[in-house]
């Protein structure tokens, strides 16, 4: 089994030193889904919920979360992000969020992409919890991770 990079020789947590790595273009895409009742989906599409435009707020929350990932996940590096996108697709069972995060740096942006999706979906949950007691978040996955 490959050794974990976040553990030292005594198996204690450590931050990985990325100082010697070359700067490269980095990209990561992630997605996840929130399953919602039909009446909740309709209310979101018609912007009828008391808290406002659910998808607009969730998009901003996802972007902000990507930017704050190193403050949320203890051993993540603080990164300068070139771009963060959060987009949504609505289908008959719920809403899929997809993020794309880009950077020029020495380490990947997959945690930022996953965090963007997670927080965007949590924001949808928060904004809909008064009208939908059976929501479920799942299927959060890293779709792509590249470096050039």
Which residues does the annotation mark as catalytic?
126
Partner residues linked to 8 by β-bridges: none
Kindly compute the dihedral angle of the four CA atoms of residues 42, 87, 117, 138, in this order, to the nearest 10 degrees.
Answer: 40
Eight-class DSSP state of 15: -
Rounded CA separation 118/56 (Å)? 15
**String of DSSP letters for 124-142:** HHHHHTTT-S--EEEEEEE
Cβ-Cβ contacts under 8 Å for 9 (sequence gap 6 or more): none
Q: Can you read off the two tokens belonging to residue 54?
A: 């659910």
Rounded CA separation 55/59 (Å)? 6
Q: Can you read off the two tokens belonging to residue 76?
A: 């993540």
């Amino acid at each position: 089994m490959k050794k974990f990079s976040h553990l030292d020789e005594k198996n204690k947590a450590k931050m990985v030193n990325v100082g010697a790595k070359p700067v490269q273009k980095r990209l990561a895409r992630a997605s996840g889904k929130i399953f919602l009742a039909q009446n909740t989906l309709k209310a979101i599409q018609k912007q009828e919920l008391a808290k406002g435009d659910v998808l607009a707020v969730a998009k901003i929350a996802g972007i902000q979360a990507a930017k704050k990932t190193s403050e949320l996940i203890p051993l993540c590096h603080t990164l300068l992000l070139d771009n963060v996108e959060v987009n949504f697709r609505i289908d008959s069972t719920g809403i899929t969020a997809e993020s794309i995060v880009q950077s020029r740096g020495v380490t990947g942006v997959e945690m930022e992409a996953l965090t963007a999706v997670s927080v965007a979906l949590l924001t949808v949950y928060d904004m809909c919890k008064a009208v939908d007691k059976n929501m479920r978040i799942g299927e959060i996955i890293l779709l792509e991770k590249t470096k050039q």
